């Protein structure tokens, strides 16, 4: 991401608009190429040298702030090694000599003559006493990318940097979007510990994303998480995003798919935890009465609230699917809410799998679950990953109950 | 439902119960549609428990996850009268509040007294890595327990844990239920919009803020900061000032401001650079009382033709004022005339600190100094192996260097808090007793004169026995 001083925005009425760049602009491609060249050819050079070289390159560009932003994004991808020589021992020797001279009052009249009077000083070049400062670190490697990718990242970073100064993000996504993308979207939300209020409004899903404490304090605490989460939104083919940015004043940022933002995060949609993948594989091998769908999308509850189950099971002989939602050790509050919703009859045919690790965290919960009527007929416990037999048994009970 | 259930959830409390059961705590609750139940701020925990208990509502408390401890305090110190008075005041305020004591008057030991009184899992939040290590080793000695650390590469949570402010903010939504007492050292750092979350996302019913400078004269936002401290920690319950403890708990001290003349060359260069810089800010209409003035100045420097030269001029005049050759000469003179002293040299910026370190072959501690070497420098300074230590800002606060008896402020900002904290570094009384001296070097005829006036606006600098501004003279006192 960029720093605040490198933001390039346009103010239009009550709106703030990022000044996106054209990623196919030949002049900008040339600038990005020159910066990347400094990085690639700078392996082994010092941080200070590279920063000076890149600053000179940026200074030549007509839009210095833009050039500095691109430099920052390229430099964020560098790994440095600390200087190979360790001047600490030399320093220590010299400091002990200077300390002795000070204690004993053997000091020349002028401060300029002091260093020369210390025997160890001759072994250290001028300016070399603190040679291991970060400016002297050497470039070890760079996570390389093309000039076009760097410019695309610049546009994304403009938005992400603005999101650092927001309290919440409002989104609109068509319900017809790929369920796999919704799954990736939800997994990123959970990863960044964000909360979502989602309502289905006809063919559109409206979402508000913030964090638990947003309810009390208008804080940008979740800005970093929101900014880190945001790229996954750009994976949808259609989307709208809006938020209020609090910089010098408050202005609205409104974006949609036409902004041309590109999400370069890879494998977002295809990531499945190993235990989930194993369960799906075993279930398919061992059970032929149900067709397992491991990308079931979402369920809409009364009032438009949504839940995202982990699996749907379709009876081979036809009929309504049964869903399964898994609750891990960090899902205690979600489990209690889901039970309340299930008991109220707002959800039917949702199986609940509870990781035993969650019970360890909350001793009272175990007793509550054993007394809960809905959990008694729809729930089961698992350790690490759900048992195929447990699930198959419950599915049969649901089929018979119908 | 019979009773009210409370669950800690990511730095907040989820609260369930019938409407009638929730009535006594209604003022703390907001309904969260995202999860379909009421939510409260974690810092409201103790007030809610008290209100529900008073109303006779049964509580299913699944939020509290901290332990009762049996701490024994092993320390050669006996509590001093001001510490006992502070503890009484804090106890009377339901063990919530801010205690204001000058540096060197035993704030850390007072925190130990509070921990012993409370006997609950405790989290101590500190502003720097140096303080993290210092508190951890002192706590270990005081209570004979292994101490957890959060920050500086450590992620170890124990019944007694020390954390930096940054790590506390980052982790509080997952650890905010694990401590019954939370102590904020140098709690004037807490009111910022981010840092305050370390207090509001934690449910600890007992809260203590420690500082020497909760507010600083007329500094901007002082009133608002105090209001935030009151909300998340409690009111100021006890206060004692430097001059009230001087000579008894604290060392006696004098402050000495020395006006240093620039050389004719420096003076010329300063005037020329200053003129260029002042003309530019006047023509651009920049007023440095405005919060955004600095970023506007920097932006204009890189946008307007000739702006870069103005920026260079700004740096030149600042460098000359902060550490001209005259200051180096006076600094050297003070070192020469005090061969047995333990001297801390403060600068406004790292560049000046390293320049002095290179020239006089002295150890320098800045935020860039690696942890191991930082510890080595501090230990050697404390033991007397190194009699002089140079630093920019990282030693302004908290770090315990009781042996230091001379502070030389080569340059600094206009912040009253910074200047009082720097004085505080040399005030810790030693067994032998000591006379502390703070020298402030000010470049004559430069903007430093007004900066110095601003930062001395505190009662610690305003008693008559402190020597008035004068030109260079005999440096020893």
Coil, strand, or helix at residue B207?
A: strand
Of A96, A115, A133, the CB nearest to B368: A133
Residue pLDDT, tens place only, B234-254: 999 999 988 888 878 888 888
Would you state the pLDDT for residue A88? 84
Of A99, A305, A337, the CB nearest to B37: A337
Confidence label for A393 from pLDDT (cuts 50, 70 and 90) = very high
Instruction: Check residues B192 and A12 and name the one with the higher pLDDT.
Output: A12
Q: Measured between CB atoms, does B1 come within 8 Å of chain A? A: no
- Does A102 contact B339 at a Cβ distance shorter than 8 Å? yes
- Does A129 contact B361 at a Cβ distance shorter than 8 Å? yes
CB B235 within 8 A of CB B97: yes
- Does B357 contact A133 at a Cβ distance shorter than 8 Å? no
Angle at B352 between CA B349 and CA B356, to 5 degrees: 140
Residue pLDDT, tens place only, B213-232: 886 544 556 778 888 899 99
Query: Does the pLDDT at position A215 exceed 90?
Result: no
Q: What is the DSSP string of B285-319?
A: T--TTSTTHHHHHHHHHTTSTTHHHHHHHHHHHHH
d(CA A156, CA A251): 19
Backbone dihedral region of B234: left (phi > 0), alpha (psi from -120 to 50 degrees) or beta? left
Q: Measured between CB atoms, does A224 come within 8 Å of chain B? A: no
Would you state the pLDDT for residue A11? 94
Which residues of chain A lie closer than 8 angstroms to B392, CB-CB? none
Alpha-carbon distances, residue A141 vs A45, A75, A145 (angstroms): 11, 11, 12
Domains of chain A by residue range: 1-85+132-163, 88-131, 165-266, 274-401
Of all residues in chain B, the percent with pLDDT exceeding 70 is 92
Query: Does the pLDDT at position B319 exceed 60?
Result: yes
Would you state the pLDDT for residue A270? 47
Would you state the pLDDT for residue B367? 84
DSSP letter assigned to residue A248: S
- Does A5 contact B298 at a Cβ distance shorter than 8 Å? yes
Would you state the pLDDT for residue A310? 83
Predicted complex: ipTM over 0.85: no
Q: If you average pLDDT over residues A202-211, what whole number do you get?
A: 87
Q: Which of A372, A377, A374, A370 is nearest to A401 (CA)?
A: A377
Residue pLDDT, tens place only, B4-39: 999 898 899 999 899 999 999 999 999 887 777 899
Instruction: Check residues B469 and B34 and name the one with the higher pLDDT.
Output: B34
d(CA B110, CA B86): 8
Residue pLDDT, tens place only, A261-307: 998 776 554 456 677 778 888 999 988 899 998 777 677 665 556 67
Q: If you average pLDDT over residues B369-380, what whole number do you get?
A: 86
Backbone dihedral region of B321: left (phi > 0), alpha (psi from -120 to 50 degrees) or beta? alpha
Coil, strand, or helix at residue B390?
A: strand
> Among A34-43, A164-173, A302-311, B172-181, which is the least confidently predicted range?
A302-311
For residue B281 the two structure tokens come to: 């800010």
Q: How far is B157 from chain A (nearest CA, A)?
A: 16
> Among A329-343, B76-90, B159-173, B452-466, which is the least confidently predicted range?
B452-466
Q: Which residues fall within 8 angstroms of residue A190, CB to CB, at 6 or more apart? A: none
Confidence label for B276 from pLDDT (cuts 50, 70 and 90) = very high
Would you state the pLDDT for residue A212? 74
DSSP letter assigned to residue B469: P
Q: Which of B156, B94, B166, B168 is nearest to B124 (CA)?
A: B168
For residue B421 the two structure tokens come to: 């904290």
CB A282 within 8 A of CB A298: no
Query: Does the pLDDT at position A164 exceed 70?
Result: yes
Q: Are strands A169-174 and A311-315 parallel, antiparallel or unpaired?
A: unpaired
Q: How far is B342 from chain A (nearest CA, A)?
A: 10
Query: Does the pLDDT at position B477 exceed 60?
Result: no
Query: Does the pLDDT at position B474 exceed 50?
Result: no
Would you state the pLDDT for residue B473? 39
CB A333 within 8 A of CB A360: no
Query: pLDDT averaged over chain A?
Result: 86
For residue B276 the two structure tokens come to: 């260029």
The fold for domain B252-262+324-471 equals: Rossmann fold (3.40.50)
Confidence label for A118 from pLDDT (cuts 50, 70 and 90) = very high
| Burial degree of B433 (CB within 10 A; 0-12, 13-18, 19+) | exposed
- Does B386 contact A364 at a Cβ distance shorter than 8 Å? no
Would you state the pLDDT for residue B144? 94
Of all residues in chain B, the percent with pLDDT exceeding 90 is 52
Which residues of chain B lie closer than 8 angstroms to A134, CB-CB? 368
CB B93 within 8 A of CB B99: no
Which residues of chain B lie closer than 8 angstroms to A215, CB-CB? 12, 30, 32, 39
> Among A61-65, A80-84, B43-47, which is the least confidently predicted range?
A80-84
Would you state the pLDDT for residue B400? 75
Instruction: Check residues B8 and B432 and name the one with the higher pLDDT.
Output: B8
What are phi and psi for residue A103, nearest 5 degrees? -60, -40
d(CA A147, CA B332): 53
Name residue, tokens 């059970």: A287
Q: If you average pLDDT over residues B158-178, what whole number do you get?
A: 93
Which residues of chain A lie closer than 8 angstroms to B193, CB-CB? 219-220
CB B320 within 8 A of CB B270: yes
d(CA A352, CA B256): 73
Number of Cβ atoms within 10 Å of the Cβ of A186: 17
d(CA B246, CA B243): 5
Sign of CA dihedral A182, A188, A190, A195: negative
CB A292 within 8 A of CB A311: yes
Residue pLDDT, tens place only, A231-262: 999 999 999 999 999 988 899 999 999 999 99
CB B149 within 8 A of CB B136: yes
What CATH code is assigned to B4-61? 3.40.1170.30
Confidence label for B440 from pLDDT (cuts 50, 70 and 90) = very high
Instruction: Check residues B356 and B426 and name the one with the higher pLDDT.
Output: B356
Residues in chain A: 402
User: Given this chain, do its domains B4-61 and B81-240 carry the same CATH topology?
Assistant: no
Would you state the pLDDT for residue A93? 92
Residue pLDDT, tens place only, B392-422: 988 877 677 878 899 999 998 878 878 888 8
Residue pLDDT, tens place only, B106-121: 999 999 999 999 999 9
For residue B363 the two structure tokens come to: 């150890």
Would you state the pLDDT for residue B471? 39
The domain defined by B81-240 carries CATH number 3.10.520.10: no
Query: Does the pLDDT at position B201 exceed 90?
Result: yes
Confidence label for A84 from pLDDT (cuts 50, 70 and 90) = low
b/e code B181-201 from CB counts within 10 Å (16+ = b)? bbbbbbbbbbbeeebbbbbbb
Question: What CA dihedral angle connects B260, B262, B264 and B267, to 10 degrees?
Answer: -140
Residue pLDDT, tens place only, B277-305: 999 989 888 887 776 677 677 667 766 77
Instruction: Check residues A122 and B434 and name the one with the higher pLDDT.
Output: A122
CB A50 within 8 A of CB A38: yes
Residue pLDDT, tens place only, A141-160: 999 999 999 999 999 999 99
Q: What is the DSSP string of A71-139?
A: HHHHHTTEEEE--SS-THHHHHHHHHHHHHHHHHT---SSGGGTGGGSGGGGGS-TT-TTTTSGGG-EE
Residue pLDDT, tens place only, B325-349: 899 999 999 999 998 899 999 999 8
Highest mean pLDDT (candidates A131-135, A341-345, B340-344, B423-427) = B340-344
Sign of CA dihedral B114, B116, B121, B127: positive
Of all residues in chain A, the percent with pLDDT exceeding 70 is 92
d(CA B426, CA B407): 7
Q: Which of A346, A272, A271, A354 is nearest to A306 (CA)?
A: A346
Query: Does the pLDDT at position A226 exceed 80?
Result: yes
For domain A165-266, which architecture applies?
2-Layer Sandwich (3.30)
Coil, strand, or helix at residue B233?
A: coil
Domains of chain B by residue range: 4-61, 81-240, 252-262+324-471, 264-321
């Amino acid at each position: 991401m960029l720093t605040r001083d490198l933001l390039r925005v346009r103010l239009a009425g009550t709106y703030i608009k990022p000044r996106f760049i054209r990623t196919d602009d030949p002049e900008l491609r040339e600038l990005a190429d020159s910066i990347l060249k400094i990085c690639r050819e700078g392996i082994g050079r010092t941080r200070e040298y590279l920063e000076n070289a890149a600053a000179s390159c940026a200074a030549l560009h007509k839009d210095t702030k833009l050039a500095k932003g691109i430099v920052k994004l390229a430099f964020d991808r560098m790994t440095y090694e600390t200087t190979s020589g360790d001047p600490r021992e030399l320093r220590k020797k010299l400091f002990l000599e200077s300390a002795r001279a000070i204690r004993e009052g053997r000091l020349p009249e002028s401060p300029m003559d002091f260093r020369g009077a210390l025997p160890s000083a001759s072994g250290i070049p001028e300016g070399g006493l603190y040679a291991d400062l970060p400016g002297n670190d050497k470039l070890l490697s760079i996570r390389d990318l093309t000039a076009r990718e760097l410019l695309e990242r610049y546009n994304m970073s403009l938005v992400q940097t603005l999101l650092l100064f927001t309290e919440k993000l409002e989104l609109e996504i068509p319900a017809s979007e790929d369920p796999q993308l919704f799954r990736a979207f939800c997994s990123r939300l959970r990863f960044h510990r964000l909360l979502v209020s989602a309502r289905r409004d006809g063919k559109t899903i409206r979402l508000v994303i913030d964090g638990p404490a947003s309810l009390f304090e208008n804080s940008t605490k979740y800005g970093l998480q929101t900014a880190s989460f945001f790229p996954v939104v750009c994976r949808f083919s259609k989307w709208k995003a809006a938020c209020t940015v609090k910089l010098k004043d408050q202005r609205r940022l409104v974006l949609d798919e036409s902004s041309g933002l590109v999400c370069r995060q890879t494998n977002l949609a295809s990531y499945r935890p190993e235990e989930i993948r194993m369960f799906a594989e075993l279930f398919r091998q061992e059970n032929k009465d149900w067709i397992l769908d491991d990308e079931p999308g979402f369920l809409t509850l009364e009032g438009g609230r949504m839940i995202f189950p982990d699996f749907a099971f379709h009876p081979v002989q036809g009929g309504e699917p049964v869903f399964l939602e898994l609750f891990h050790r960090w899902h205690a509050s979600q489990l209690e809410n889901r039970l309340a919703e299930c008991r109220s009859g707002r959800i039917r045919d949702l199986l609940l799998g509870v990781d035993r690790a969650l019970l360890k965290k909350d001793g009272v919960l175990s007793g509550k679950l054993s007394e809960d009527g809905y959990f008694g007929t729809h729930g089961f416990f698992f350790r690490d990953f759900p048992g195929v037999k447990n699930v198959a048994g419950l599915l049969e009970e649901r089929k018979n109950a119908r | 439902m019979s009773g009210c259930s409370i669950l800690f959830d990511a730095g907040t409390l989820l609260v369930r119960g019938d409407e009638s059961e929730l009535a006594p705590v209604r003022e703390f609750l907001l309904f969260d549609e995202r999860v379909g139940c009421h939510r409260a701020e974690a810092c409201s925990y103790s007030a809610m428990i008290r209100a529900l208990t008073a109303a006779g509502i049964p509580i299913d408390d699944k939020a509290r996850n901290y332990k009762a401890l049996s701490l024994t305090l092993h320390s050669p110190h006996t509590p001093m009268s001001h510490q006992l008075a502070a503890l009484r005041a804090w106890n009377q305020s339901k063990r919530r509040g801010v205690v204001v004591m000058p540096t060197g008057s035993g704030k850390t030991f007072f925190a130990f007294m509070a921990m012993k009184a409370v006997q609950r899992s405790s989290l101590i939040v500190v502003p720097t890595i140096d303080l993290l290590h210092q508190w951890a080793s002192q706590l270990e000695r005081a209570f004979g327990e292994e101490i957890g650390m959060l920050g500086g590469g450590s992620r170890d949570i124990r019944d007694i844990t020390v954390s930096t402010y940054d790590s506390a903010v980052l982790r509080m939504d997952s650890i905010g239920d694990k401590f019954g007492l939370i102590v904020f050292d140098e709690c004037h750092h807490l009111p910022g919009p981010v840092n305050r979350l370390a207090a509001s996302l934690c449910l600890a019913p007992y809260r203590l803020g420690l500082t020497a400078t909760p507010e600083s004269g007329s500094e901007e936002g002082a009133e608002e900061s105090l209001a935030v401290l009151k909300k998340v920690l409690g009111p100021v319950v006890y206060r004692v000032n430097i001059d009230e403890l001087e000579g008894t708990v604290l060392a006696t001290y004098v402050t000495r401001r020395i006006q240093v003349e620039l050389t004719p060359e420096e003076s010329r260069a300063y005037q020329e650079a200053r003129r260029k810089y002042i003309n530019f800010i006047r023509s651009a209409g920049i007023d440095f009382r405005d919060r955004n003035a600095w970023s506007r100045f920097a932006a204009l420097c890189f946008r307007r033709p000739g702006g870069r030269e103005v920026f260079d001029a700004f740096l030149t005049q600042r460098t000359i004022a902060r550490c001209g050759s005259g200051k180096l000469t006076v600094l050297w003179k003070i070192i020469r005339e005090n061969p047995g002293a333990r001297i801390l040299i403060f600068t406004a910026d790292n560049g000046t600190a390293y320049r002095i370190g290179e020239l006089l072959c002295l150890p320098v501690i800045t935020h860039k100094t690696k942890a191991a070497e930082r510890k080595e420098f501090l230990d050697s300074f404390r033991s007397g192996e190194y009699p002089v230590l140079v630093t920019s800002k990282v030693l302004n606060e908290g770090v315990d260097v009781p042996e230091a008896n001379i502070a030389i402020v080569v340059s600094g900002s206009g912040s009253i808090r910074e200047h009082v904290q720097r004085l505080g570094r040399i005030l810790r009384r030693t067994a032998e007793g000591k006379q502390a001296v703070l020298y402030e070097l000010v470049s004559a005829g430069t903007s430093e004169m007004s900066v110095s006036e601003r930062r001395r606006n505190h009662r610690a600098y305003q008693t008559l026995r402190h020597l008035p501004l004068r030109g260079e003279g005999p440096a020893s006192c």
